[in-house]
């Protein structure tokens, strides 16, 4: 056997080895993981909770409410130890200092953001054995404003300004979720990804209170208020 024949035999053996490897299977090439929707988008494992209030009014007043027809009994002043003291007539000095009469709104605490959807909820089921990409696109344009329960006696812009000043956040009277916004997210095998586009609203508590020209204050009217904070998607998965 000469050298040329040995070379041809070695080449044939190499080809057979490659073919056998392709037939019986070899090492799989790992795919790069798909990117998530965004650094701030979180896919939850349950639908987002809705507001607890059943008497929410969508849309805040555009201006201040009229003055009370009869002066309400003011809240009693509190002592240094927090115990309410007996109500007394305002002093002559207090009466001598004129105040701008009208309602005020005072925020007291805040909780978290709640999502108000615009348009229909969307969903995509991945029936394959591998992770798939689900892409969702907003199908309508819609505005989301303030919602509240209780007695909000000031205009929306006044309440927003007070909430921003109290908590150091940026909120709005109204935000618009626009048509055509798209988001892509990984859907695991045999799971459904649900998507809802809309506006996140900050939930906070406070009270409305009337201040008279002599600087005395009326009864506090408690308010729970949802103020638009940002536009975005809420995502969750189900089996």
| Distance, CA of 217 to CA of 112 (rounded, Å) | 30
Pairing of strands 43-44, 221-238: parallel
Each residue's pLDDT expressed in tens, for the chain with a length of 239 residues: 555 554 455 444 444 343 333 333 332 233 333 334 444 568 998 889 999 999 999 999 999 999 988 665 555 655 555 444 444 444 444 444 579 999 999 999 999 999 999 999 999 999 999 999 999 999 999 999 999 999 999 999 999 999 999 999 999 999 999 999 999 999 999 999 999 999 999 999 999 999 999 999 999 999 999 999 999 999 999 99
Residue pair 37/235 in contact (Cβ under 8 Å)? The answer is yes
Dihedral over Cα of 62, 63, 68, 71: its sign: positive
What is the value of pTM for the model shown?
A: 0.73
CB neighbours (10 Å) of residue 215?
15
Cα–Cα distances in angstroms (integers) from residue 165 to residues 12, 107, 108, 199, in the given order: 81, 9, 11, 21
Q: Tell me the three state secondary structure of residue 146.
A: coil
């Amino acid at each position: 056997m000469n050298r040329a024949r040995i070379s041809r035999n070695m080449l044939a053996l190499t080809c057979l080895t490659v073919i056998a490897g392709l037939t019986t299977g070899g090492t799989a090439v790992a795919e790069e993981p798909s990117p998530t929707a965004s650094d701030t988008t979180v896919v939850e494992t349950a639908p987002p909770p809705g507001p607890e209030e059943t008497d929410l009014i969508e849309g805040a007043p555009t201006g201040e409410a009229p003055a009370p027809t009869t002066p309400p009994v003011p809240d009693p002043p509190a002592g240094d130890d927090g115990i309410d003291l007996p109500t007394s007539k305002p002093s002559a000095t207090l009466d001598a200092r004129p105040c701008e009469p009208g309602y005020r709104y005072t925020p007291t605490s805040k909780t978290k953001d709640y999502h108000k959807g615009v348009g229909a909820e969307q969903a995509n089921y991945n029936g394959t054995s591998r992770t798939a990409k689900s892409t969702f696109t907003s199908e309508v344009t819609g505005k989301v404003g303030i919602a509240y329960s209780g007695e909000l006696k000031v205009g929306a812009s006044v309440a927003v300004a007070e909430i921003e000043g109290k908590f150091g956040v940026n909120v709005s009277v109204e935000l618009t979720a626009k048509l055509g916004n798209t988001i892509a997210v990984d859907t695991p095998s045999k799971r459904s990804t649900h998507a809802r586009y809309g506006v996140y609203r900050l939930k906070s508590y406070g009270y409305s209170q009337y201040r008279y020209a002599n600087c005395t204050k009326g009864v506090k009217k408690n308010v729970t208020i949802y103020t638009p904070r940002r536009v975005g998607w809420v995502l969750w998965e189900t089996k």
